[in-house]
Amino acid sequence: MSPQEFGNASELLRRVTVQVRGPGSSAGSGSGVVWSADGLLVTNAHVTRGDHAAVELWDGRRLEAAVTARDPRRDLAALRVPAGDLPAATPRDSDTLRPGELVIAVGNPLGFIGALTTGVVHAVGPLPAIGPQSWVQAGVRLAPGNSGGPLADATGRIVGINTMIAGGLALAVPSNAVCRFLRQGASGPYLGVTVRPIPLRVDGRRTLGLLVLEITPGSPAQTASLFVGDVLLAAQDRTFRSPDDLSRAIAAGGLVRVRFLRGKSTVLREVAVRLGTSRAEAA
């Protein structure tokens, strides 16, 4: 690939990358990708903590976006803006991605619009500390504001949605998982929380906690008086080894018993939650 071809691919990526702000926020809170020319956008669920968001396109236009679907299990959200004929991303089959390939990340880190960084793919697959879900793991530098932006191959085709850093590597939701989410949405029983795994020591023992980052308004979690900042430790009397342990407990439906810590207290609390069912929001 010539430098000119690489430059053209980079410019295309900048044009399909948007800035996403939460309601009432003056600072950029994350990034997103124009997935189709008719105004369908994709970002991380943790970037859009509500039903609406403010979006700024590459040409400076500012539009209000409606959140049409959300899946905190994969940290994905779909948005719709009232615009057409937009430059749109071209997804690639992420199953064809191989270690050593050059990848490009674009986003809006720390207020720098359209910042670009490059690196190589280290692996495509699960991380034992996070769970069985697959990630594109790449040696690219991400910063706050990159979340929700595109990870692309050297030709500009999207291979993932940048989500977080773990073990010094950038983790992106594979493009195939994004396409499934857009086709099917999130479905089944749901609790209504967005969580992030954190290591803990409880009663002198190492364990995994799930820090609650977001509570969906009107969800079973809110009804059960779970709060942002609570740390979930177990479901159905089973401690967590990965976030998917919570997902499996939820998938069974019905009533789920959740054990958690709140604030600086070391006292364990427990609540029984009657799960709901939704196609638009699930966790």
153 is catalytic: no
pLDDT for res 186: 58
Contacts of 248 (CB under 8 A, 6+ apart): none
Q: Which of 71, 75, 230, 245 is catalytic?
A: 75
> Could you give the CA distance from residue 119 to residue 113 in angstroms, rounded to a whole number?
19
Q: What angle do CA 31, 33, 37 make, to 5 degrees?
A: 145
Rounded-to-integer distance, Cα 6 and Cα 16, Å: 16
- 3-class state of residue 223 by DSSP: helix
Q: Which of 10, 29, 46, 219 is catalytic?
A: 46
Please give the Cα distance from 174 to 94 (Å, whole number): 6
Of 31, 147, 219, 278, catalytic: 147
How do the domains of the chain map onto residue ranges? 3-80, 94-184, 189-277
Give the tokens for residue 40. Answer: 């369908």
User: Nearest-CA neighbor of 231 among 200, 271, 205, 190?
Assistant: 200
Supply the pLDDT for residue 36. Answer: 96
One fold for 94-184 and 189-277:
no
195/35 Cα distance (integer angstroms)? 25
Burial class (CB in 10 A: 0-12, 13-18, 19+), 59: exposed
Classify the C-alpha dihedral 221-222-226-230 as positive or negative: positive
Q: Which CATH superfamily is domain 3-80 in?
A: Trypsin-like serine proteases (2.40.10.10)
Give the pLDDT confidence score for residue 190 in this predicted structure.
74
* Contacts for 205 with CB less than 8 Å, ≥ 6 apart: none
Residue 216 confidence (pLDDT): 77
| Annotated catalytic residue 75 | yes
Q: What amino acid is encoded at 83 in this protein?
A: A
CATH class label, 94-184: mainly beta
* Cα(235)–Cα(71) distance, integer angstroms: 20
**Confidence at residue 34, expressed as pLDDT on a 0 to 100 scale:** 97
How far is 108 from 127, CA to CA, in rounded Å? 26
Into which CATH architecture does domain 189-277 fall?
Roll (2.30)
The residues pairing with 40 across neighbouring beta strands, listed in sequence order, are: 36, 80
Confidence (pLDDT) at 7: 87
Q: Is 147 a catalytic residue?
A: yes
pLDDT along the chain (283 residues), means of 10: 84 94 66 96 88 92 92 87 94 96 91 88 84 88 91 96 90 94 73 84 83 82 88 89 80 82 76 60 32
190: left (phi > 0), else alpha (psi -120 to 50), else beta? beta
